[in-house]
Amino acid sequence: MFGLLYLVCPSEESSLYTTLYSQQLFFLASTTEPILFEPISREQARRIVDTRVKQLRQQGAGEELKSILLFHQQHF
């Protein structure tokens, strides 16, 4: 029982989630059936977010980039 999860950054193969209240536990969730959750370390989560930021900067994405940068600044 981890409570509610918050989507940090979506991906084609898996999405990164954190717990809604403490935001200290991170999970990768597969986007294909069956949906599987895998707990990951804070460092792994930071690397995933860094990679997504780089992708969004290359694509010129606006709102998603702002959202992920804010999350990155507050949690890492």
Task: Assign 63 a pLDDT band (cuts: 50, 70, 90).
Answer: confident
**pLDDT value, residue 54:** 92
Question: What is the domain count for the chain?
Answer: 1
| DSSP-assigned states of every residue in 39-66 | EE-HHHHHHHHHHHHHHHHHHT--HHHH
pLDDT band at 2 (very low <50, low <70, confident <90, very high): low
Closest alpha carbon to 50 in 8, 5, 3: 8
Taking the model in full, what pTM does it have? Answer: 0.79
Question: Would you state the torsion angle of the CA atoms of residues 8, 11, 13, 18, taken in this order, to the nearest 10 degrees?
Answer: 0
What average pLDDT does this structure show over 62-68? 87
Instruction: Give me the domain span that covers residue 36.
Output: 5-75
